Amino acid sequence: MSNIFSDIKSRCDLPSVLSLYGRTPNANGMIACPFHGKDEHPSMRVYSDGLYCFACGWHGDAIAFVERMDSCSAIEAARKLNDVFLLGVDFGKPMTAKETELWRRQRKIKSAERAFDSLADDALQAELAGDHEKYQEIIRQREQLDAEITRLENESSAASGAEHAPIPEEYTWDSTGIFYIFTPSKGSPIVEYVCRTAIQISGVYADEDTGLHSVVLSFHDGMRSRRETFDRQMLTDPQTVKKLSGYGVTITSAKHLALAFALRLHNCPVMPSASRLGWFGSEFVPYSSQIHCLTKSTTCEAMLQAAASPCGLPEFWTKTAAEALRASCGARFAVSASLSSPFLRPAQQLGFGVHLFGKTGTGKTVCLLLAASIWGNPQNLMKSMSSTAVGMEKTAAFLCNLPLMLDELQEVSNKDVFENIVYMLSNGKSKTRGTKEGGIADESRWLSVSITTGEQAILDDDVCTGAENRMLSVDLSDETYGRSFGSDIVDTISRNYGHSGREWIRYIQKPENVQAIKARAAEIRQELREAGYLDKQLASCSTLKAVSEASANFLFGGDMSLALSIDDMLPRLVTLEEADKDKKGVEFLKGWIAGNAKSFENGGAEFQPREVFGRWIDNECWLISNKFHDVLKKASFSPKDVFAEAVRMGVTEWQEGGDHRRRDRKVRVNGKPVRCILVRFSDDDSNECSENELPF
């Protein structure tokens, strides 16, 4: 046989063979490789005795090329070349003229199919690039090619005299794969396999949020059994069902496999499902027996399994949690916040955040692990802050009504933008984003309590009232307990978790319990309202305390010493006056001027004019206008708003400017007239703290 191959190769003209497949070498002797997808820059070199692709590494002679292109054996490829080019090599009975013509028709069909598949890649690239016109043009070309392929197949069938199998009304699914039986008018029945992998449909589900259907398939990929979730649309489309081959499924006919799925799924019952956790009416996923949760990411699957799989004994967790709650204010806040998260939706309350901060050894992470262990495996439910805002959005949206627990604020690379993250997490919806088709993507939504930890406060003193309103900061600097105590807690809750969360959900599924907690929260809020605390902070703290009392009664046998107390709460609350950002801006400006007194004329015995910021006249400081704006902007204050507040406080005043008022006026500084803004230091400022009251 090797002599036959040698004869074929020696007599065969390689460029002529390539021309059969529409390939012509360019001036550099290169052609586009047909074996590794779209080859925009020809990468296959044509030599006198063979071919080599510098991109994918394929190499071979004329026989190997035909063998690969036609998906046939080497001897069949050699025979075809011999018969098509009349090489005269003796193979026995040669191909007839009819067989040669059929072979050429098959080449056209395969060439058209390759072009059809290549356009699929082009369409995807155009869609990702947002080129709608190019995308529509490629779709039109694919439709034309599809019609051309159908025409060529019909002509080939007519020329061969073969009888076309009709579209089957039924496919057989068994342990050998998926097939149908075709009985020609003359001859015995023929078994046609569309898939050589045994597949079982384990369930069809409709998402409660979107209504879209998902299908769970069970199959063996050759190495192990798999259970995967796919979109129903993907399985019933001949073009997208090919993706199953990437999971180890052997497909022989994508067209028939898509039809087999369509027929099979038509008769399957559809069950409700969810792609997130949390409330669906009165049901709570993952504890619902009515709604099945389906995920398509390993991260979400890990969180789902963590929440859906309790471990150990509930009494061990309860005993350890009680010890922690009794010893740590941070633990009381963390556990109350964790239990408050699913309470918000039935109580129709707003989301908020709790931040635990303090130096190493104050038990921040232990408190967070304890809060996470209420719902499941704490290691899988607790996330790090070293993720993007989009990552936090996706995690919060999946957890939905369960608490979002983030550890280690110090891992945030840019804390200047973290105020926006606080807003996003508390507001419960993602940013509005566009789609590649030019529309608006669906917003992700959630309603929960976010619990964070770090060695420093999550918000600086200069943040706006809105951010402070949404976040309770709990300073744990004064809390210390033995390292062994913290390790004992972690050891126990790492082996016993996920029981109390289920019980708490059953408790708040009863409307009368929700109403009782809401009524108690309203009483607490009324008691503290006159102190002038921020409204949303007051509502959050009232909810935390009411939930804490309810959980102490329900989960811990009525031991109210484990609940949050008023003394725990008051140091965390911020008054309206303390949160007024514009007042903070005025005090910041006065402090900055005092710290740079030597840069003002008459500002001290040693006036250093290396950089002059203004001048002093008695207790009045005239600050150069440009410096006023620069200093406040760099500190993230609004110069306009700070000036207005300073006027209300009597720290500055409007200046007459002819027909209109001005914030500044001309003052001689360093011998030159420049625009300055008045900042007044009254005698009251120096009398606020007497000498005896000074700490040093």
The tens digit of pLDDT for each residue in 337-392 reads 999 999 999 999 988 889 888 887 778 889 999 999 999 999 989 887 777 778 88
503-511 contact pairs (CB < 8 A, 24+) = 503/314, 503/554, 503/555, 504/339, 504/342, 504/374, 504/551, 504/554, 504/555, 505/284, 505/287, 505/342, 507/550, 507/554, 508/342, 508/343, 508/346, 509/282, 509/284, 509/346, 511/346
The pLDDT of residue 132 is 78
pLDDT digit string, tens, across residues 450-479: 998 888 776 555 444 455 667 888 888 776
Summarize the confidence of residues 267-282 as an average pLDDT. 93
The pLDDT of residue 685 is 54
The pLDDT of residue 468 is 60
> Max Cα separation, the chain?
119
Highest mean pLDDT (candidates 52-66, 113-127, 602-616, 680-694): 52-66
Q: Is 90 exceeded by the pLDDT of residue 158?
A: no
pLDDT digit string, tens, across residues 473-492: 888 877 665 555 688 899 99
> How sure is the predictor about 2, in pLDDT bands with cuts at 50, 70 and 90?
very low
The pLDDT of residue 692 is 44
Question: How much of the chain, in percent, has pLDDT values that exceed 90?
Answer: 32
Domain 2-160 adopts which CATH fold?
DNA Primase; Chain A (3.90.580)
Domain range summary for the chain, segments of one domain joined by +: 2-160, 172-274, 292-577, 580-693
The pLDDT of residue 160 is 58
pLDDT digit string, tens, across residues 76-107: 888 888 888 887 777 665 556 666 666 667 66
Summarize the confidence of residues 154-176 as an average pLDDT. 70
Tell me the average pLDDT of the chain: 82
Of 224, 324, 190, 213, the residue nearest 265 (C-alpha): 213
> How sure is the predictor about 695, in pLDDT bands with cuts at 50, 70 and 90?
very low
CA 100 to chain CA centroid, nearest Å = 56
